[in-house]
Amino acid sequence: MTSSTSDKLYDEKSARRVVPMSLAWFRRRRLCDLPPRFVRIGRRVFYHEKDLVSFIESRPAGGEQKGQTDG
């Protein structure tokens, strides 16, 4: 079985390299059952790389969306 980058697991500290937020932010999100999705193995928490990347991509910022008009 080969491993692709989307199968990579990050612990909560390593996940900060992909989503640059504090540990408290990740913990609050989990407590409130908000994304990014996570996996619990025993007492440890992990994030799939694909879930971290899709979380970032789902939050575009700046500029206007096409088709949006004022008025």
Asked whether residue 16 is domain-assigned, the answer is yes
Domain that holds residue 34: 5-57
CA dist 16 and 36 (Å) reads 12
pTM: 0.75
Total domains, the chain? 1
DSSP output for 18-59: TS---HHHHHHHHHTT-SSP-EEETTEEEEEHHHHHHHHHT-
Asked whether residue 65 is domain-assigned, the answer is no
Asked whether residue 26 is domain-assigned, the answer is yes
Asked whether residue 37 is domain-assigned, the answer is yes
pLDDT score, position 1: 46
Q: What is the per-residue pLDDT across 12-32, written as a single tens digit (0 to 9) for each?
A: 999 999 999 999 999 999 999
